[in-house]
Amino acid sequence: MKTFRVGFGYDVHQLKEGYPFWLGGIQVPHEKGAVGHSDADVLIHVICDALLGAANLRDIGYHFPDQDPQYKGIDSKFLLKNVVGLLKENGFKIGNIDSTVCLQLPKVNPHIPAMQKCLAGVMDIHESLVSIKATTTERLGFVGRQEGVSAYCVALIYQE
């Protein structure tokens, strides 16, 4: 009998000029990029938190603290790969990922297939199991003013 578990992730990063914009494991062309201790890939961070939460393994900050210099500027795909390893060590498999990126600009939709392919490869799952949606906030709030990016994720994991 399979045991199913669900986890949720939420993250926010400030946007500033002069930074590269990493989203879903790929670099998206834009004049602003996300600011953070790592490469600030908000989508990967919420996926990590959703997976860790589902497995009751705390959160991304617990495993990869932003006070630790070894994670300064790190590629978030490395963090995700390690989270997937933790899941496997604890007997879990990924059922599916459902995520939403909130961003006024740039438009995310053209980049979704490349993000799905990248993230599926990192997690060693089929692309059809990685849902990425995008929305604006109709110019409201910090996302609407293009001051930041936020993302949400729900992940289903299971044990056989």
Q: What tens digit of pLDDT does each residue of 77-117 get?
A: 999 999 999 999 999 999 999 999 999 999 999 999 999 99
Structure tokens at 38: 């790592």
Does residue 100 have a known ligand-binding role?
no
Does residue 11 have a known ligand-binding role?
yes
Does residue 64 have a known ligand-binding role?
yes
Structure tokens at 88: 């496997």
Average of per-residue pLDDT values in the chain? 97
pLDDT score of 1 more than 90 = no
Q: Which band of pLDDT confidence, cut at 50, 70 and 90, is reported for residue 54?
A: very high
Residue 58 CB neighbour total at 10 angstroms: 12
Total domains present in the chain: 1
**Domain span at residue 120?**
3-159
Task: Give, in order, the Cα–Cα distances in Å from 29 to each of 7, 18, 76, 96, 110.
Answer: 30, 12, 18, 28, 11
Does residue 145 have a known ligand-binding role?
yes
What integer is the mean pLDDT of 55-80?
A: 96
Does residue 41 have a known ligand-binding role?
no
- 41: domain CATH number is 3.30.1330.50
Does residue 136 have a known ligand-binding role?
yes
Return the pLDDT at 116: 98
Does residue 30 have a known ligand-binding role?
no
pLDDT score of 160 more than 90 = no
Residues shown for the chain:
160
Instruction: Give the span between the Cα atoms of 117 and 136, in whole angstroms.
Output: 23
Does residue 39 have a known ligand-binding role?
no
Return the pLDDT at 79: 98
If one compares 160 and 107, the residue with the highest pLDDT of the two is 107
Does residue 49 have a known ligand-binding role?
no
Return the pLDDT at 29: 96
Instruction: Give the span between the Cα atoms of 9 and 58, in whole angstroms.
Output: 11
